[in-house]
């Protein structure tokens, strides 16, 4: 004869086990059913070590202007790494949905190459170009922002080429020409034209 | 504990990994199989083009029983009053006063009490009565009372005498011109490629001439070939040099002529050293001889003072301004309006793209340079921003001129000051009319490839509503401002070329 209190205790334990099992099954099922929304935005590197203050030139669609903004980036070991950090910091601004010049979440800077004398090659991923909004002004704001930011912070640059997924492309999104090297001097003149009117 | 364990294995929902994953594997495999079946059974994008006096339209075809089928109700709907009723295996159709009775799975139907052979089973899917396309020439005359012709291989159906015929004659000019005369106005999509110009007639009931291959015994334009496929007729003109199509006689005449550029380019090829002709960066989409613009082509007379370029076109839609509006459609409307405004001020104007044609930026620059136009105006439209932006070229780095030949990427260099003063004049006119305006440089081809003064305008709505771009009054406000400024600068521009 099993004592009554033991039966009650066993019953309670059995109900608890059943309940917890059902709950665990439900949780796992929900986790499996809920699609994992992958955030493809590049992560801004944690600024744990030494940093430096740089100037980014940020495009603003509202008035079609380019405005200087101060930012902190990790202190890089070389010119090339520094140039990549600069553009990644700029891109992270554009990937924010409240950005004044929003780029699609998949956009990324693959790499930046600095080749002497005075040549920079910016390689963006295909999502950067494929999802970019089309229009003369909106495209040239992006191009000018990238080139003016890198050239202002990297002395000695003369010309800049933009590649998409490592390959040459005719235009960014139907307008801004990517087939030639950009002349840094003329881009900086355009950047001056794009300064906000006081 | 034994009791718990037993219950757990029998009645408790599985909490371990294996029992949970197994159903997911089954679901995933089932989903993959379902997708594969769906994809394999996805309808083809074949269409039946129907031409009639009442309307020209296109209907999707479905593949059943190993042959193409089409919805009978859909074929007759645009032509008159039609209704259908489905009862069990019977499907009744009434078109005006003619009744037809179709039985599912039977190859014969009764129309006005008489048997009609369908040449295949009649099918009903979602209350839609489907008949084999091959049965239409015998079936439709019973309903319509007139002749019906089917081009089965190309899925083109002609109801009544609607066919558009054409003739082609080659003029003896040098360079020669190929003139097509059509029996009704046409508006084909035009695409060019090295050695050929293709006219695709998807909306017009164009039919073949006596022979599908027309030969002209000429080296420059040796032949033209007529073909049909998937609801469209295509006329391909083979040419040894770049050619352009122009329309006249209310769209009944299409003239294929060699561009002035091609003649100039041929001369340039003969004069240019081989090294220059094979310079890096030469594009394959146009003849190599055309990529380096001839700097000295004084023999080519200017035919047009202004060249207006409706940007984008064909496969290149430009910006999608709204769900139903592409930039390429707005630019062609603005370009036509600008031509009207300029010509009303006595300025001969060429619109480079006056239809939905594919034109590369190189071709646009070549045509403009060959005509030695006094001003090139590219027209763009945008939903972003307000008012109008006026652009001049932002020249790329480098550009090594070779002797008398200018580098293609910086061909604009010598004319840039004149372009900038023209842009200023245009902007001043916009300001005078209180339209928001900015002047900027832009890395926008083909501005840098044009040898003469060249500007681009990007028209945005004054507010946030993109539909303003299609408003005739706004378009005229913009184009009349540009035309007024160009007319005021005419002496300066003309003197420079």
Three-class SS string for chain B? CHHHHHHHHHCCCCCCHHHHHHHHHHHHHHHHHHHHHHHHCCCCCCEEEEECCCCEEEEECEEECCEEEEEHHHHHHHHCCEEEEEECCEEEEEECCEEEEEECCCCEEEECCEEEECCCCCEEECCEEEEEHHHHHHHHHHHHCCCEEEECCCCEEEECCCCECEEEEECCCCCCEEEEEECCCCCCEEEEECCEEEEEECCCCECCCCCCEEECCCCCCCEEEEEEECCEEEEEEECCCCEEEEEEHHHCEEEEEECHHHHHHHHHHHHCCHHHHCCCCCCCCCCHHHCCCCCCCCCCCCCCCEEEEECCECCECCCEEECCEEHHHHHHHHHHHHHHHHHHCCCCEEECCCCCCCCCHHHHHHHHHHHCCCEEEEEEECCCCCCEEEEEECCCCCCCCECCECCHHHCCHHHHHHHHHHHHHHHHHHHHCCCCEEEEEECECCHHHCCCCEEEEEECCCCCCHHHHHCHHHHHHHHHHHHHHHHHCHHHHHHCC
pLDDT band at residue B295, thresholds of 50, 70 and 90?
very low
Question: CA B422, CA B416: separation in Å to the nearest integer?
Answer: 10
CA of B156, closest CA in chain A: separation in Å?
Answer: 35
What is the predicted pLDDT for the residue at B37? 42
Asked if B194 is an interface residue toward chain A (Cβ–Cβ < 8 A), one would say: no
B8 contacts A17? CB cut-off 8 A: yes
**Does residue B35 register a pLDDT over 80?**
no
pLDDT confidence of A103, banded at 50, 70, 90? Answer: very high
Does the structure show a pLDDT above 50 at B132?
A: yes
Q: Is B53 exposed, middle or buried (0-12, 13-18, 19+ CB in 10 A)?
A: exposed
d(CA B163, CA B205): 5
Higher pLDDT, A171 or A74: A171
Where b means 16+ CB within 10 Å and e means fewer, A35-71 reads: eeeeeebbeeeeeeeeeeebebbbbbbeebbbeeeeb
B320 and chain A: CB distance < 8 Å anywhere? Answer: yes
* For testing contact with chain B, the best of A22, A63, A175, A192 (most B CBs within 10 A): A175
A79 pLDDT band, cuts 50/70/90, is confident
Q: How far is Cα A141 from Cα A49, in angstroms, rounded to an integer?
A: 32
Pair B451, B298: CB distance under 8 Å: no
Three-state secondary structure readout of B331-365: HHHHHHHHHHHHHHCCCCEEECCCCCCCCCHHHHH
Is the CB of residue B26 less than 8 Å away from at least one CB of chain A? no
Q: Report yes or no: B107 and B117 within 8 Å, Cβ to Cβ.
A: yes
A64–B3 CB contact, under 8 Å = no
Interchain proximity A136–B389, CB inside 8 Å: yes
Per-residue confidence band for A45, with pLDDT thresholds at 50, 70 and 90: low
**pLDDT tens by residue, B213-251:** 888 888 888 889 999 988 889 999 998 888 888 888 777
Give the integer Cα–Cα distance in Å for A162 and A183. Answer: 12
Q: Do A137 and B441 touch (CB under 8 A)?
A: no
How far CA B423 is from CA of A52, B308, B488, in Å, comes to 42, 15, 12
Calculate how close chain A gets to B64, using CA atoms only, in Å: 37
B112 pLDDT more than 70:
yes
Instruction: Tell me if B143 sits within 8 A of B100, measured CB to CB.
Output: yes
Per-residue confidence (pLDDT) for residue A39, from 0 to 100? 53
Question: Which pLDDT does position A194 carry in this prediction?
Answer: 92
The nearest CA of chain A is from the CA of B317 a distance in Å of 9
Residues of chain A contacting residue B383, judged by C-beta atoms under 8 Å apart: 135
Instruction: Give me the helix-helix angle, A79-94 and A136-153, nearest 10°.
Output: 150
Rounded Cα distance, B491 and A108, in Å: 50
Alpha carbon distance B418, B88 (integer Å): 78
Are B397 and A181 within 8 A, CB to CB? yes
Q: How many CA atoms lie within 13 A of A157 on its CB side?
A: 30
Residues pairing with A70 in the sheet = A55
B327/A134 CB distance under 8 A: yes
Angstroms from B486 CA to nearest CA on chain A: 22
Would the ipTM clear 0.85, i.e. be above it? no
Residues B281-309, mean pLDDT to the nearest whole number: 49
Percentage of the residues of chain A whose pLDDT score is greater than 70: 90
Task: Tell me the domains of chain B and their CATH numbers.
Answer: 47-159 (3.30.457.10), 166-258 (2.60.40.3470), 285-495 (3.40.630.40)
Find the CB nearest A183 among B396, B438, B440. B396
Looking at chain A, which residue has its C-alpha nearest residue B5?
A: A14
A 63-82 residues with CB below 8 A of B? 64
The dihedral over CA atoms of B376, B380, B384, B387, expressed in degrees to the nearest 10, equals 60
CB B220 within 8 A of CB B175: yes
Distance CA B238, CA B196 (A): 4
Output the pLDDT for position A76. Answer: 78
Report the gap between the CA of B457 and the closest CA in chain A (Å): 10
Q: Is B421 left (phi over 0), alpha (psi -120 to 50) or beta?
A: alpha
Q: Is A21–B15 a contact, with Cβ atoms under 8 angstroms apart?
A: yes
Residue B122 predicted with pLDDT over 50:
yes
Summarised one tens digit per residue, pLDDT across range B301-324 is 556 889 999 999 888 899 998 888
In chain A, what residues touch B319 (CB-CB under 8 Å)?
133-135, 174
Nearest chain A alpha carbon to B410: A180
How far is A48 from chain B, CA to nearest CA, in Å?
A: 39
CA distance B286 to B366: 10
Q: In this complex, which of B7, B384, B443 lies closest to A177 when CB atoms are compared?
A: B443
Please report, for residues A21, A36, B62, B455, the alpha-carbon distance to residue B16 in angstroms, rounded to integers and kept in the order given.
9, 22, 48, 70
How far apart, in whole angstroms, are the C-alpha atoms of residue A144 and residue A120? 14
Supply the mean pLDDT for chain A.
Answer: 88
Min Cα distance B342 → chain A (Å) is: 24
Cα of A142 to nearest chain B Cα, Å: 12
Q: Sort out which chain A residues have CB atoms less than 8 A from B409's CB and list them.
A: 180
- B14 near A CB under 8 A: yes
The pTM of the whole model exceeds 0.95:
no
Q: Which residue has the tokens 């004044």?
A: A100
Give the tokens for residue B383: 């939903």
User: Rounded to whole angstroms, how far apart are CA atoms B406 and B412?
Assistant: 9
Q: Which residue has the tokens 């001020």?
A: B345
pLDDT at residue B407 tops 50 = yes
Which residues, numbered 123 to 182 in chain A, qualify as contacts with chain B under a Cβ-Cβ cut-off of 8 Å? 133-138, 140, 143, 158-159, 171, 174-177, 179-182
Closest CA to A110 of A95, A91, A94: A91
Interval A116-146: pLDDT, tens: 779 999 999 999 999 999 999 999 999 999 9
């Amino acid at each position: 004869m099993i004592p009554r209190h033991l039966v009650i205790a066993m019953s309670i334990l059995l109900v608890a086990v059943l309940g917890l099992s059902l709950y665990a099954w439900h949780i796992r099922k929900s986790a499996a059913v809920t699609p994992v929304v992958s955030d493809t935005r590049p992560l801004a590197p944690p600024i744990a070590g030494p940093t430096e203050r740089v100037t980014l030139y940020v495009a603003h669609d509202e008035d079609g202007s380019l405005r200087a903004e101060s930012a902190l980036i990790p202190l890089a070991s070389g010119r090339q790494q520094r140039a990549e950090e600069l553009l990644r910091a700029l891109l992270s601004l554009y990937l924010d949905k409240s950005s004044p010049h929003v780029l699609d979440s998949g956009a990324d800077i693959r790499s930046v190459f600095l080749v002497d004398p005075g040549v920079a090659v910016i390689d963006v991923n295909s999502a950067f170009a494929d999802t970019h909004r089309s229009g003369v002004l909106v495209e040239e704001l992006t191009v000018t922002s990238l080139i003016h930011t890198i050239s202002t912070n990297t002395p000695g640059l003369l010309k800049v080429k933009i590649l998409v997924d490592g390959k040459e492309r005719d235009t960014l999104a139907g307008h801004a020409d990517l087939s030639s090297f950009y002349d840094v001097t003329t881009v900086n003149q355009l950047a001056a034209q794009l300064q906000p009117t006081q | 504990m034994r009791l718990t364990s037993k219950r757990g294995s029998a009645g408790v929902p599985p909490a371990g990994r294996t029992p949970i994953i197994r159903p997911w594997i089954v679901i995933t495999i089932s989903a993959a199989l379902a997708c594969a079946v769906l994809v394999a059974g996805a309808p083809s994008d074949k269409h039946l083009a129907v031409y009639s006096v009442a309307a020209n339209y296109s209907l999707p075809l479905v593949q059943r029983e190993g042959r193409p089928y089409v919805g009978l109700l859909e074929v007759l709907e645009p032509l008159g009053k039609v209704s259908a009723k489905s009862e069990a295996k019977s499907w009744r159709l009434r078109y005006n006063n003619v009744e037809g009775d179709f039985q599912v799975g039977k190859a014969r139907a009764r129309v006005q009490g008489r048997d009609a052979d369908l040449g295949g089973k009649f099918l009903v899917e979602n209350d839609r009565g489907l008949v084999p396309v091959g049965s239409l020439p015998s079936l439709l005359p019973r309903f319509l009372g007139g002749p019906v012709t089917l081009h089965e291989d190309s899925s083109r159906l002609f109801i009544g005498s609607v066919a558009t015929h054409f003739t082609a004659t080659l003029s003896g000019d040098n360079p020669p011109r190929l003139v097509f005369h059509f029996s009704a106005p046409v508006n084909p999509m035009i695409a060019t490629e090295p050695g050929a110009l293709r006219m695709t007639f998807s909306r017009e009931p164009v039919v073949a001439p006596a022979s599908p291959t027309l030969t002209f015994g000429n080296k420059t334009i040796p032949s033209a070939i007529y073909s049909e496929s998937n609801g469209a007729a295509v006329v391909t003109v083979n040419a040894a040099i770049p050619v352009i199509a122009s329309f006249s006689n209310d769209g009944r005449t299409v003239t294929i002529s060699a561009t002035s550029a091609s003649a100039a380019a041929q001369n340039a090829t003969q004069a240019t050293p081989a090294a220059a002709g094979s310079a890096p960066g030469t594009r394959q989409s146009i003849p190599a001889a055309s990529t380096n613009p001839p700097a000295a082509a004084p023999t080519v007379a200017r035919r047009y003072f202004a060249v207006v370029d409706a940007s984008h076109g064909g496969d290149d839609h430009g910006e999608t301004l709204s769900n139903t509006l592409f930039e390429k459609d707005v630019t062609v409307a603005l370009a036509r309006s600008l031509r009207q405004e300029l010509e009303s001020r006595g300025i001969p104007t060429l619109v480079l793209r006056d239809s939905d044609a594919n034109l590369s930026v190189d071709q646009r620059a070549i045509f403009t340079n060959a005509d030695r136009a006094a001003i090139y105006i590219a027209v763009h439209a945008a939903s972003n921003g307000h008012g109008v932006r006026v652009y001049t070229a932002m020249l790329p780095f480098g550009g090594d001129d070779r002797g008398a030949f200018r580098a293609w990427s910086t061909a604009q260099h010598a004319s840039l000051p004149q372009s900038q003063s023209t842009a200023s004049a245009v902007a001043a006119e916009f300001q005078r009319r209180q339209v928001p305006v900015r002047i900027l440089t832009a890395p926008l081809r083909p501005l840098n490839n044009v040898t003469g003064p060249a500007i681009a305008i990007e028209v945005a709505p004054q507010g946030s509503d993109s539909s303003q771009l299609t408003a005739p009054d706004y378009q005229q406000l913009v184009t009349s401002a540009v035309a007024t400024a160009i007319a005021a600068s005419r002496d300066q521009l003309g003197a420079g070329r």
